[in-house]
Amino acid sequence: MRRLIKIYDTTLRDGTQGEGVSFSMEDKVRLATRLDALGIHYIEGGWPGSNPKDLRFFRRMQDVTLKHARLAAFSMTRRAGTTPEADANMQALLDAGTPVATIVGKSWDFHVTEALGTTLAENLAMIGDTIAFLRPRMDEVLFDAEHFFDGFRANRDYALATLRAAEAAGAHWLVLCDTNGGTLPGELVAMIAEVKKQVRVPLGIHVHNDAECAVANSLAAVAEGVGQVQGTLNGFGERCGNANLVSIIPSLILKMGLDCIPEPNLRELRDVSRFASELANRKSWSSQPYVGDSAFAHKGGMHVSAVQKHPETYEHINPAAVGNRRRVLVSELAGKANILWKAREYGIDLDHDTPDSRRILDRLKALEDQGFQFEGAEASFELLMERALGRHRPYFVLEAYRVIVEEQNTDQEPVAEATVRVRVKGMLEHTAASGNGPVDALDHALRKALEEFYPNLKTMKLLDYKVRILDESKGTAAKTRVLITSGDGDETWGTVGVADNIIEASWQALVDSVEYKLRRDGSART
């Protein structure tokens, strides 16, 4: 039987201390249910004594049945000079109605005297009294030894004394915290080895990422015998963040051969990671290990050729194990293997021995020499392949477009208006539209001309627009690359345009975006 490591998620509390991270009460409920479905053992919902939203969350969660996870409420030890019975934080903790309480207490003597402003002896009493008060009232009580590793360096005996105080009072877990996130794996392991000689209660680990070691420290702690790992989804958290559970969980299962969440649930990891980012209104990290869009992306032709034969040549795991997928990028570094792979992905049959793949590759390299880049514009690359093979039949033909930007007075925003003349299915359409800027106006005018013939375009939206100046030395005469991201609720896709004129580059990307949507939907052509 494999050793079980308990996963304790604190995204809803510690994660929200990260800059720009905020969840509504309903967001927290939705995320808690996803964490439960993933198989997380503990979900720390917040600090009920610190703010009304967390208290409302715990009341709301009393009507939610968790199938796997245990809900934990967080609080500090009783205040100096009082008793747990008289401490408002303790009452709020009990009112939260959770089966688990997590109590943070100081284990660094410097913090006790300077931050709390009390004596070392009183701090030990605060730890012991609080846990002893909660022990008969909760199913489980965890002690988070704040700043433990800094405290161990400064005053080894006192840091250990805080753990013994919590153990004597009945704590179920002693969680060692690298609160400042500056401890390196080697010294962390040495300190844990000393702790194991002093206490018998199971140990947990809670580390921050200020030295870029949070994941490594967590895994090293597990290898040293720690049985619980605390962290957050995507590493959300204060300063540089907390230990990233999205990296830790698959490493425990796939690399270390340990149990934590059910292994089949790993396939949900990418979706859960992106769900958390969406709720936090943060863009997903494309290079995030295991689940990022780039985690299994291959660009060099030699790499792609090898991966086609044996994926393990350039992939440390099967991407499907964590819900991800292999991607092949196209660029000036691409070889025939990239082109053949992408052609198959888009349903275009290329024979390796025909000149078609070389023709596409030559066209690709010529365009990239002009400033085109297709790594974020795979929809444009699909159309490039069709054009290079002579298979492209347009859905409409441009006759002319014009864009006017007029500033009427200094008190109002400039007005942008675009007119478009296109021939669609043998008919000439001449339309005009205004918009929030010239590109938006051009997009509206083009849609207006086409939607009568292609009603499915009404579901398509322009989601993002990026501009890159390619030769800054030429100033306003520099060539411009425009990257547009579009979507229709079912899929998102990127298109690219390059020209000396930013409007022309935008037009190229807009046309490709519309063409891709119509091609994918199987619309009838002109």
Distance between the two ends of the chain, CA-based, in angstroms?
Answer: 64
Whole-number pLDDT of residue 333 = 45
DSSP per residue over 25-88, as a string?
Answer: HHHHHHHHHHHHHHT-SEEEEE-TTT-HHHHHHHHHHTTS--SS-EEEEEEEPPPTTS-GGG-H
CA distances from 298 to 334, 337, 399 (A): 9, 11, 39
Angle between helices 301-309 and 336-345 (to 10 degrees): 60
For the chain, domains (ranges, CATH) are 6-261 (3.20.20.70), 397-521 (3.30.160.270)
How many C-beta neighbours within 10 Å does residue 26 have? 11
pLDDT at residue 51 in the model: 82
Task: Return the pLDDT at 294.
Answer: 78
Is 106 within 8 Å of 147 (Cβ atoms)?
A: yes
Tokens of 513: 């975006």
The conformational region for residue 98 under phi > 0 = left, psi -120 to 50 = alpha, else beta, is: beta
- The confidence score (pLDDT) of residue 435 equals 87
- Per-position pLDDT tens, the chain of length 526: 789 999 999 999 999 999 989 888 888 998 999 999 999 999 999 999 888 889 899 999 998 999 999 999 999 999 999 999 999 999 999 999 999 999 999 999 999 999 999 999 999 999 999 999 999 999 999 999 999 999 999 999 999 999 999 999 999 999 999 999 999 999 999 999 999 999 999 999 999 999 999 999 999 999 999 999 999 999 999 999 999 999 999 999 999 999 999 999 999 999 899 889 888 878 788 899 999 987 777 665 555 556 566 666 666 888 889 998 776 655 544 555 555 655 665 555 656 556 776 677 677 667 767 777 665 677 887 888 788 777 778 889 999 999 998 877 667 778 889 999 999 988 999 999 998 888 889 999 999 999 999 999 999 988 888 887 776 555 555 688 888 888 888 888 888 889 888 899 999 999 999 999 988 887 766 5
Task: Round to whole Å and give the CA distance between 332 and 359.
Answer: 14
Of the candidates 526, 471, 524, which has an alpha carbon nearest to the alpha carbon of residue 500? Answer: 471
- pLDDT given at position 390: 78
